[in-house]
Amino acid sequence: MHIPDGFSQITPYIFADDALAYMDHLVQALDGLELGRTLNDDGKLANGQVRIGSASIMVSEAGQGFPPSSLALYLYVENANTAFEKAITGDMTKIMDVADMPYGDRQGGVKDIAGNIWWISQRLSSAPYY
Q: Single out the residue in 63, 84, 106 at which a domain terminates.
A: 63
CATH number of 37's domain: 3.30.720.120
Phi/psi for 81 (5° steps) reads -65, -45
Q: Is the pTM of this model over 0.85?
A: yes
Per mean pLDDT, which of 3-7, 100-104, 117-121 is the most reliable? Answer: 117-121
Compute the distance between CA of residue 25 and CA of residue 21 in angstroms, rounded to an integer: 6
Q: Are residues 9 and 36 in the same domain?
A: yes
Domain that holds residue 110: 70-130
The pLDDT value recorded for residue 96 is: 98
- The predicted pLDDT at position 4 comes to 80
pLDDT at 129: 67
Q: Count up the domains in the chain and report the number.
A: 2
